[in-house]
Every structure is written in structure tokens, then in C-alpha cells.
Structure 1
Amino acid sequence: MLLRDIAHSRTGDKGNISNISVIAKSEKYWPLIVKEITEEVVADHFENLILGDVVRFILPNIQSLNFVLFQSLGGGVTQSLALDAHGKCFSSVILEIEIFNEDLINKD
């Protein structure tokens, strides 16, 4: 299954830094999202798009993760020639991460 099946996402930017939220669609998915969507998984998934580190923040009260991707926007909006200088497509990119959990797949 894809992350998009169990979560929503939003993005923001500041300079050359992208901020991506991953929000569980239901409480039942929250533990799986925290377990599976790590800094390493996100860094590997974005390896061709970012130059810097990935930092994860866990927001349990709103069942969300927040990822900060450094050096991810080609220098920022005022310097980048990218079509998506704000990195808004990153929310779609993160939702393409595959999650392998047989228990959850068999329940749904």
C-alpha cells in the first residue's frame, strides 16, 4: 500500500528549506505511520531531489509528522529556476512511499 492510502500531506517552504506534514487519516493508522515513515525512509525517497538533511518531528496530539528537508528547493524561490520553486509537489511525492504491513492490508 502507499502512504496516500492512510495519510494526507501538506507542504510549506522558507528559503531553501521544505516542510512536509504527514497527517494520519485515522487514529488506527497513526502507530504504523510513526513506525514506518522515518527520517531515513524520507531521505532515501527524496535522494534525487534534496541535498541536505531530513529532520522528523512527531506531533502525537494531532497524529501528524512534520519533516524538514534542508537544501531542498534549489536555493529558494528567489534563486531557483524550478517549475515548482515552492516544493508544493513534495506532498504528492511523500505520499508515494510504499508501506508493507500485512496486518493492516488484511484488515482493510
Structure 2
Amino acid sequence: MAVVKLKDIAQARSGDKGNIVNIGVFAPNQAIYEEFLAQLTPERIKAHFAGLVKGEVLRYELPNIFGLNFVCKEALAGGGSSSLRLDNLGKCFGSNMLRLEIEVADHLLVDIKK
């Protein structure tokens, strides 16, 4: 088993609307997607964003594109017009998500291009 950062095996895209952040994470293949399903739980994502995401984290599965969509509520200190945070945009959450580490079987990493 290898411990890898998502940035080495995934792509992410994120954005915001009001006080909600939306983060999409995409696996390169079905096998890695199965690992994402097992390890990228709403609870784990909320813990990863501790101090930033105050509300519920919902996960939507998109198996046809090997994707997961996380909707993080109460994540922007009230949203753009009411927050005192210097950078309260959800687009930064995608990069932060890619810092999360997961365990992946070594043989699943053989064909992953870095």
C-alpha cells in the first residue's frame, strides 16, 4: 500500500455560490474511483476542511465519469458579501482537496501518469 496525495492521482474542480462550496474530484479509472468511494467520505472531507466547513457535507457519486461531487455547506463564513475572510472563494477548495492523502494499492498506481 502506498500513501499518495490526491494531486498525484486525481483532478479537482471547485466553485461557490453564497455560503456553499462545490468540489468535484475525478479519478483516472474505475479502480481508483472505487478507492475514492471507500475513502472519500463526507466525514473525511469535513475533517480535512476542519475550521472552514461548518455545515453538512453531501457526496454525490458520478460513476459514469469516475467522479465525486462534494457540496460543503456553511463553508465561506457567510459568503462573499458578508464574510471578512480575505479569500472566501470556493475555487481554492479544489487545490486544498488535492492535498488530502489516501492509501492505494501499489499495483493500481502502475499506469497512472504523473
Considering the TM-score relative to the shorter chain, is it more than 0.5? yes
Q: 2:62 aligns with which of 59, 64, 69?
A: 59
Computed over aligned residues only, the root mean square deviation of the Cα atoms, in angstroms, reads: 1.7
Work out the number of aligned pairs and report it: 108
* Counterpart check, 1:40 vs 2:43: yes
- Residue type matched to 1:71 in 2? E
List structure 1 segments (4+ residues) > 3 angstroms apart after TM superposition: 102-108
CA contact 2:32–2:108 (8 Å) conserved in 1: no
- Residue type matched to 2:34 in 1? P
Aligned equivalent of 2:100: 97
Measured after TM superposition, the shift of residue 100 of structure 1 is 1.6
Measured after TM superposition, the shift of residue 104 of structure 1 is 4.3
State the identity as a percent: 44
Measured after TM superposition, the shift of residue 81 of structure 1 is 2.3
Give structure 2 stretches of 5+ with no counterpart.
Answer: none
Residues 1-108 of structure 1 mapped to structure 2, 5 A cutoff: 1-104=4-107, 107=110
- Residue type matched to 2:35 in 1? L
Give structure 1 stretches of 5+ with no counterpart.
Answer: none
Measured after TM superposition, the shift of residue 98 of structure 1 is 0.8
CA contact 2:31–2:108 (8 Å) conserved in 1: no
Partner SS, residue 95 of structure 2: helix
Moved more, 83-92 or 60-69: 83-92
Q: Quick one: distance in 2 between partners of 1:92 and 1:79?
A: 24
Higher strand share: 2
TM-score by length of 1: 0.89
Taking a change above 3 Å as real, the CA distance of residues 38 and 104 of structure 1, as seen in their structure-2 partners, is: farther
